[in-house]
Amino acid sequence: MKRGRDQADYVQKVRGDSQRLTQSLLDENERLRARLAGLRTENAALAEKARSIDALVAANETLRAGEATLRAERLRFEEAVVQLREELAAAGRRYAALEQRLTEAEEESHRFSQDYLHVEQQNQNLANLYVASYRLNGTVDRGELMLALQEIVSNLIGSEEMGVFEVSENGRTLSLAGSLGLDPERYGELAADRGLIGEVLRSGQTYVGGIETGEVRSEGEENLTACIPLFVEERPLGVIAIFRLLSHKPQIEDIDRELFELLAAQASVALYCTRLHALHGAEVLRA
């Protein structure tokens, strides 16, 4: 009986142990399940984190690639900037050269304009001399010559007060042979040895007002502007006296001086020819 009790106790004990073991196993199982669930959750979280890290790595790779591209772009950009700066500098030099050429061209154009005006002026001067010469040598008629002299003084020199004076036979007086704008009463006869006109007749030098200093003017010479001697073979024939200039003609110019020289040379010969023609023209033309 004791043995039976012992067996029952033993069975009971085993049963209890088994139950405890089972319970322990169940508890352990439960704990492991919970642990497994936790691990799964952790695993999922880690997987998620791993994906994020992959994404970050990928993004980082992309960034690195982008950075390299940017670096390359920046390099190209910097090279382009350098090239552009060089081109800009070259363009600046070309612009400066063009500006220089433009300035030179403008200066040249200005010089050409000045030269053109100078040539035109010379042309006009030559034309004046040609016209005067043509008119002086175009006639042997005394009246026509006087008219030509008046026109030359009036139209080419610019005075409407002039007189052509001839030396009288005795050489002591000057007679008014032709005039424009002068009073014949006052200027009909002048002393050949007085004043500026007398000095021109004596010296054979053209007088132009404003050059000589300390000049002595006789009565009637107050407005004398120029006086041109008329000589043939060193013998005085007379003078051309030019008085007031036209109001818009301020002074005697270089071309006027050239005309004076031409008048001194050609008007004297022309005047001499008209005298010869008056004396012997008919006879010569008959021969």
With CB under 8 A as the contact rule, the residue among 44, 89, 246, 276 that binds another protein is 246
x/- track of binding to another protein for residues 74-113 (CB under 8 A): ----------------------------------------
Residue partners of 261: CB distance under 8 A and separation at least 6? 206
Q: Which is nearer to another protein, 93 or 111 (CB)?
A: 111
Look at residues 192, 200, 191 and name the one whose alpha carbon lies nearest to residue 240.
Answer: 200
Q: How far is the CB of 266 from another protein (least distance, A)?
A: 14
Q: How far is the CB of 282 from another protein (least distance, A)?
A: 25
Q: How far is the CB of 244 from another protein (least distance, A)?
A: 12
Query: Residue 173 and residue 168: Cα distance in Å, rounded?
Result: 6
What's the DSSP call for residue 214? S
| 198 in Cβ contact with 215 (< 8 Å) | no
Query: Residue 239 and residue 176: Cα distance in Å, rounded?
Result: 10
Q: Which is nearer to another protein, 147 or 188 (CB)?
A: 147
User: Which residue type does 57 have?
Assistant: V
Look at residues 170, 183, 177, 160 and name the one whose alpha carbon lies nearest to residue 242.
Answer: 160
Phi then psi for residue 172, to 5 deg, are -95, -15
Query: Residue 18 and residue 186: Cα distance in Å, rounded?
Result: 178
Tokens read off for 58: 């990928």
Q: Which is nearer to another protein, 161 or 166 (CB)?
A: 161
Q: Which is nearer to another protein, 2 or 248 (CB)?
A: 248
Tokens read off for 171: 């050489």
Helix H or strand E segment including 149: helix 142-151
x/- track of binding to another protein for residues 122-161 (CB under 8 A): -xx--xx-xxx-xx------------x--xx-xxxxx-x-
x/- track of binding to another protein for residues 226-245 (CB under 8 A): --------------------
Q: How far is the CB of 83 from another protein (least distance, A)?
A: 54
With CB under 8 A as the contact rule, the residue among 52, 121, 203, 205 that binds another protein is 121
When asked if residue 274 is in the footprint of another protein (CB under 8 A), the reply is: no
Residue ranges binding another protein (CB under 8 A): 117, 120-121, 123-124, 127-128, 130-132, 134-135, 148, 151-152, 154-158, 160, 246-249
